[in-house]
Amino acid sequence: MTDEMKNGLIDQMNAEFYSSYLYLAIGNWFRDQDLDGFGSWMEAQAAEEYEHAMKLYHHLHERGVTPRLAAIPEPPSSWDSVLAAVEAVLEHERYITGRIHELADLALSNHDHASRLLLDWYVNEQVEEEATASDIVRKVRMLADTSHGLFMLDRELAGRGAPAAE
Ligand SMILES: [Fe+2]
Ligand SMILES: [Fe+2]
């Protein structure tokens, strides 16, 4: 594997660990707002992001690379509103999609077909992740200005608490 590819995959592994930590921070804030359904949804997302990091970790080891585990930056701890918090999720997913696309380009230019195939999985995953986050942002926009609407949405999200299968 080229150094460029190696460093790109390691940075992405660390970015996925940060995503996990960020979503745990958002879940932590939702729990503090008595929105346990939103909280459990974010905790499930945090567990998924951890899996995304581990998939890269295992790929690197299989390719004979021991990744450096960088420091994970401290995430924010509060958001101005429920809408701001779910928008932060969508914005972060879009940022990650951009990074994944750059990495996929790198795999192509490095003729690293094993990494390209692995990254295909992430390209698809990002389509789903953005769709889910957009859907929730849309629902919060429609419903969150009434406490009843927010309560209903919190109940709905409680059902997504279990980490989804790939
Ligand atoms: Fe991810
Ligand atoms: Fe994600």
| Ligand 2 center to 15 CA (angstroms) | 10
Digits of tens for pLDDT over the chain (166 positions)? 999 999 999 999 999 999 999 999 999 999 999 999 999 999 999 999 999 999 999 999 999 999 999 999 999 999 999 999 999 999 999 999 999 999 999 999 999 999 999 999 999 999 999 999 999 999 999 987 788 889 999 999 998 765 444 4
Q: What are the structural domains, with CATH classification, of the chain?
A: 3-66+79-158 (1.20.1260.10)
CA–CA distance, 147 with 91 (Å, rounded to integer): 25
| Ligand 1 center to 147 CA (angstroms) | 31
Judged by its nearest atom, the ligand closest to the C-alpha of residue 23 is 2
| Ligand 2 center to 152 CA (angstroms) | 24
Nearest 10 degrees: Cα torsion 163, 53, 83, 76: 130
Can you give the pTM of this predicted structure?
0.93
